[in-house]
Amino acid sequence: MNRYQDENWQQEEQRRREAYYQMNSQNSNTPDALEQIFRGPLNWMNLLMIGINVVIFIIMEFLGSTEDTGFMLQWGAACRPFILNGEWYRLFTSMFLHFGIYHLANNMAVLLFMGDMVENAVGHWKYLAIYLGSGLVGNLLSLYMDIQSQSNIVSAGASGAIYGIIGGVFVLMIKNKKQVREIVIRRLVFVIVVTIYYGSQAAQIDNAAHVGGLIGGIVLTVLFTVHKKNTYRNRKEYVAR
């Protein structure tokens, strides 16, 4: 096959692919805008959050053990007596620490899957605000519960921030409920309820941080999208500015 024939074949193949994609798009019940939100490309802020968590974990494993509570306290894990003694930075630093590889892997897998959805909808910096804000709200609620129970438990993890991202996804689905099948929303609600219930039954899970993060994520996402009828279209306008 000569070069001219090869180029013609490539053009024909490209036309076939475009026709196939167009046919599938017409048969789909999901509009392009919503599809861009929930099936968009990977975003750098979400990847940056994952990268920071992973790098910190690797460094800590080289220097000690992330399953040692004393070592975790040295690196900024949250604990009621330390925070009330003026070390308020622990409400922030504890979001980037994890107890062991499985704790890290579970959190980062959820963040990789859901973080892009929120970042596609609200933009990079508002996504960061939702992530950090939800984590702080979760840690504050956890601190409040520890004060009430006089608990000295050492806690760490990005779960509060990640539940905030899950709350953000829930808000986006509700705002676009005409384009999202009701069963999808019900399944997400079911997952949230089951995981929170499981957390309430497990002694080693900081369920208060999960609930606080979820509430924080819902509130922040609502605030960031309150005037947006179409989250993806407004995101394009935001990026253009």
The active-site residue out of 94, 134, 155, 159 is 159
Tens digit of pLDDT for each residue in 170-206? 898 888 876 656 546 666 666 666 666 554 444 567 8
Active site residue 94: no
pTM (predicted TM-score): 0.74
Give the largest CA-CA distance in the chain. 80
The active-site residue out of 94, 142, 155, 210 is 210
Is the pLDDT at 27 greater than 90, yes or no?
no
Shared-domain flag, residues 36 and 15? no
Shared-domain flag, residues 158 and 220? yes
Range of the domain at 2: 1-29
Tens digit of pLDDT for each residue in 62-112? 999 999 999 999 999 999 999 999 999 999 999 999 999 999 998 998 898
Shared-domain flag, residues 137 and 88? yes
Shared-domain flag, residues 154 and 167? yes
Measure the CA–CA gap between 19 and 240, rounded to whole angstroms: 30
CATH of the domain at 189: 1.20.1540.10
How many separate domains does the chain show?
Answer: 2
Is residue 102 exposed (0-12), middle (13-18) or buried (19+ Cβ within 10 Å)?
Answer: exposed
Shared-domain flag, residues 168 and 96? yes
So what's the pLDDT on residue 43? Answer: 80
Active site residue 149: no
Shared-domain flag, residues 43 and 94? yes
So what's the pLDDT on residue 226? Answer: 84
Shared-domain flag, residues 10 and 54? no
Shared-domain flag, residues 227 and 127? yes
Shared-domain flag, residues 21 and 83? no
Measure the CA–CA gap between 135 and 53, rounded to whole angstroms: 13
Shared-domain flag, residues 8 and 40? no
Tens digit of pLDDT for each residue in 117-175? 899 889 999 999 999 999 999 999 999 999 999 999 999 999 999 999 999 998 988 88
The amino acid present at 174, given as its one-letter code, is I
Shared-domain flag, residues 11 and 41? no
Secondary structure (DSSP) of 13-59: HHHHHHHHHHHHHHH-SS-HHHHHHHS----HHHHHHHHHHHHHHHH
Q: Which two structure tokens, joined as six digits, stand for 144? A: 């409040």
Shared-domain flag, residues 62 and 173? yes
